[in-house]
Amino acid sequence: MDDIERLIREARPESGTRDRPLSARAERELDALVGKKHHRRVAVFALAAVVVAAVAIGVPLLIPEPESRVVAGPAEIDPSTVLHAAAEKLGATPSAHTGDEAGRLLDGQGFTPEAQAFLLASIERNGSAVRAERGTEDGYAVWRVTLDDGELVIRIDTGRIVLFIDAAGREHRP
Amino acid sequence: MVGRRRARADEFRAFYRAHYSVILTVAEQRLDGRQAAEDAAADVFQIAWRRFSDEGAALSLPWVYQILRNVVGTEYRRRERARRALDKLADDPADPQESDARVDVRDALGRLPERERELLFMAYWEDLTHDEIAAILGISTGALRVRLTRARSRLRDALQPATTGEHDGRH
């Protein structure tokens, strides 16, 4: 170790090290993550069905509070669940497509419900959604879905994208 | 089918146990506090599990390291509460716990080009081995050693002006 390496190591901010054992939280999260997978697809479709049914009969209160995401905060839900449910409501099909839909969103051209559904399904598949939280926008209950490079705001009742905030903080409304 | 699913789950469990602590350590170095780091690590492995189980992604440290970078980047944008450890320290240079030398080194690190600063962080703050860093960067360990030598040299140069300045100031 030369003098510069020693200086850098001595300037290291306080934190744990990689040789520490897994915490109780980490163990719980692993169990929840791997254990719940077997039922995940069923849960996704069940959630989508409940939301659609609740909207159809006009009883918003039937929409369940999001199940606590064990590996994140209690107000959050797996973002892929949100995207999947929204895309289903908009009529997405799992056919192949590209990111062109995102361009259309930004350009405001041809951004039909079908295009939105394609976009949501695409984001779900490529895994760029990091987090989803409940919120309100213009008086409507929405999901705020944080992406690798921005944030999508999706109305819970319709599944429609109402706002996209890009990485620079600019707002785009279809 | 069930047996294969169980085998995949076991593979992920082994990967998680092998890499959770290093990912948490890196997150701690890049975010402001243990809680934020644990949240980020949880996000990382949730994304990793989804891509592994749904899309058949191959498990590797470079892959989850990149996911962590994305998560941390998103965290920076989404919440101003998360700042780089370096920025946080620069904002509070009067911390009596910090020696002058540590503050000088952190300031000098902050003046390096990002590529070299990141490399020094990875090598000396984030507990990554040289083999792991080389894999993350997609270079050979030989090339890594060359880059590290160059980065240390740049840091040495960055530390010089302060010393020279103090010296000159006395005259």
Q: How far is CA A95 from CA A4, A69, A79, A104, A122, in A?
A: 55, 29, 20, 18, 10
Rounded distance between C-alpha atoms, residue B111 and residue B151, angstroms: 12
Chain A hits for B22, Cβ within 8 Å: 18
Please tell me whether the overall predicted TM-score, pTM, comes out greater than 0.80 for this model. Answer: no
Q: How far is CA B56 from CA A43, A125, B23, B25, in A?
A: 21, 12, 21, 26
Q: How far is CA A133 from CA A88, A98, A130, A136, in A?
A: 19, 26, 10, 10
A57, two tokens: 């009969």
The mean-pLDDT minimum among A105-109, A128-132, B38-42, B163-167 falls in B163-167
Chain A hits for B33, Cβ within 8 Å: none
3-class SS of residue A5: helix
Question: Helices B61-78 and B2-30 sit at what angle, rounded to 10 degrees?
Answer: 50
Per-residue pLDDT of B52-97, as tens digits, reads 988 889 999 999 999 998 888 777 666 553 344 445 445 555 455 5
What is the layout of strands, in order, in the sheet containing A150-155? A76-77, A129-137, A140-147, A150-155, A161-166, A171-172
Contact B46, A72 (CB under 8 A): yes
Residues of A with CB under 8 A from a CB of B: 2, 4-5, 7-13, 15-23, 25-26, 29-30, 33-34, 37-38, 69, 71-73, 78, 80, 125, 127-128, 130-131, 146-148, 151, 167
Over range A158-163, report the average pLDDT.
85
A34 and B49 within 8 Å at the Cβ level: the answer is yes
A69 vs A76, residue with greater confidence: A76
Residue A132's pLDDT is what?
81
B42 and A29 within 8 Å at the Cβ level: the answer is yes
Asked if ipTM goes beyond 0.90, one says: no
A33 and B106 within 8 Å at the Cβ level: the answer is no
CA distance A113 to chain B (A): 25
CA distance B167 to chain A (A): 20
